[in-house]
Amino acid sequence: MDITRRHFMAGLIASGLGVASPFGLTATIRQTYPATLPSGIAKVGRNLSVASHSSATGQLFTFGELPPPAAIHKILSAGAPGDPLLLAMAPEKLLGLSSYELSHAGNEFLPESVRQLPKTGRLAGRGSSLSLEQLMVLKPDLIIDCGMTGETFRSLAARTVARTGIPWLLVDGGLRHSASQLRQLGTLLGVAERAELQAQLADRFLQDAQAFADRQPIALRFYSARGFNGLETGLQGSLHTEAAELLGMHNVARQQGQAHLVKVSLEQLLAWQPEVIITQDVRSWRHITSDPVWRGIQAVAQNQVLLFPRRPFGWLDAPPGVNRLAGLRMLQARFDQTVALTLQQDLREFFRLFYHCTPDDAQWQRLMSAQ
């Protein structure tokens, strides 16, 4: 193509516009936002600061200036794992749930105020379903995200704070850190008393799980079934199988250095021969227990295909949040007589503290019969 004066001028204007666009702001962030967050405070953008508090048992990253607890009236949940956590901590301050609507049938046991919480959408960079403009309309005092705290998620938080000026709190979502997660967040949100009760219950469930894991001479081999035909699973170390692994159980699906969802074949499962299959997908459960080929797997032949409830959130997974504490307890009760004795009380206590409800007997039975 010949370079004419017109082309040259057009190119000049285009590059001028490019430099003046929001990407310029990105460059500023890249300069001032450090690759690994220091424990001090670093300036990002105008009047915004990035602080990181880290401790040995859990990690909490703060982006922007956190308001004092008394000034936090409106909280926005940025993603699905934060929904159960914030619902437990501060339902009265919650603007809505990022990924769930709890108003549908089957959730009648929840308080009306919780069932009426709107679905606000998730904030996850380009995968966001909540726009930044909508975020400005909602005007939360604080955005809280829970889950992975890698560089991607931290830079995403820093960018959103730089553009909106709304402080962002990123909480490490590991199940084993639930108690410290609850205590730290409770203090920051000014609900330390409620958080302490929840943390104590979480501590008890987790310590019992650890004790159970330590007592096992040989780890029970499990497979976590997902998807409509049960052939999707979480690899060992993934968020999706953390509850069972905390009990010392051995995930048959493992791959060096990887911890994500994968597809496996039935032939591979017949070679693995897991002793227990856990699932919270009723379609998986129906398929596994009715298909004659699955009978060749030890867990199916010995009726060890365990279906977990999934209300109001999945008990084992989906989302990978504090909701998994209930699944952890239920799974332990299956193999631990002492825990089985008090399971119903423990779970009711969990529902009272975390979901602020006390289901009546009929509701409780519906809740527990996952089918």
Q: Which residues bind other proteins (CB under 8 A)?
A: 80, 99, 122, 129, 226-229, 231-232, 235, 240, 253-255, 261-268, 270-271, 281, 283, 286-287, 291, 293, 296, 314, 317-320
Minimum separation from the CB atom of position 283 to other proteins (A): 6
Can you read off the two tokens belonging to residue 184?
Answer: 């730290």
Pick the closer one to other proteins by CB: 9 or 301. Answer: 301
Minimum separation from the CB atom of position 313 to other proteins (A): 10
Using DSSP bridges, classify how beta strands 168-172 and 59-63 pair: parallel, antiparallel or unpaired: antiparallel
Pick the closer one to other proteins by CB: 6 or 126. Answer: 126
What 3-state class would DSSP assign to 175?
A: helix
- The rounded distance, in Å, linking the Cα atoms of 62 and 135 is 18
Q: Is the peptide bond before 274 cis (omega within 30 degrees of 0)?
A: no
Angle at the Cα of 64 (from 60 to 66), degrees rounded to 5? 70
Residue 316, number of CB atoms within 10 A of its CB: 29
Minimum separation from the CB atom of position 268 to other proteins (A): 4
Pick the closer one to other proteins by CB: 151 or 291. Answer: 291
Can you read off the two tokens belonging to residue 89?
Answer: 């901590």
Asked whether 110 and 312 are in contact (CB, 8 A), the reply is yes
Minimum separation from the CB atom of position 122 to other proteins (A): 8
- The rounded distance, in Å, linking the Cα atoms of 109 and 82 is 21
Minimum separation from the CB atom of position 3 to other proteins (A): 27
Residue 357: closest CA among 347, 370, 365, 366: 347
Q: In 192-273, at which residue ranges do the beta strands (DSSP E only) sit?
A: 221-224, 232-234, 250-251, 261-263
Minimum separation from the CB atom of position 342 to other proteins (A): 29
Helix axes 23-32, 151-164, angle to 10 degrees: 120
Can you read off the two tokens belonging to residue 262?
Answer: 């994968």
Pick the closer one to other proteins by CB: 261 or 357. Answer: 261
Minimum separation from the CB atom of position 232 to other proteins (A): 6
Minimum separation from the CB atom of position 206 to other proteins (A): 22
Pick the closer one to other proteins by CB: 115 or 286. Answer: 286
Can you read off the two tokens belonging to residue 313?
Answer: 């959130």
Pick the closer one to other proteins by CB: 124 or 189. Answer: 124
Write the DSSP string, 293-314.
GGGGSHHHHTT-EEEPP-SSS-
172 forms beta bridges with: 147
Pick the closer one to other proteins by CB: 287 or 329. Answer: 287
Minimum separation from the CB atom of position 90 to other proteins (A): 23
Pick the closer one to other proteins by CB: 201 or 318. Answer: 318
Pick the closer one to other proteins by CB: 47 or 290. Answer: 290
Minimum separation from the CB atom of position 252 to other proteins (A): 9
Pick the closer one to other proteins by CB: 68 or 292. Answer: 292
> In whole angstroms, how far apart are CA 360 and each of 109, 239, 267, 352?
8, 32, 44, 12
H or E, element range at 112: helix 112-115
At residue 221, what is the residue type?
A: R
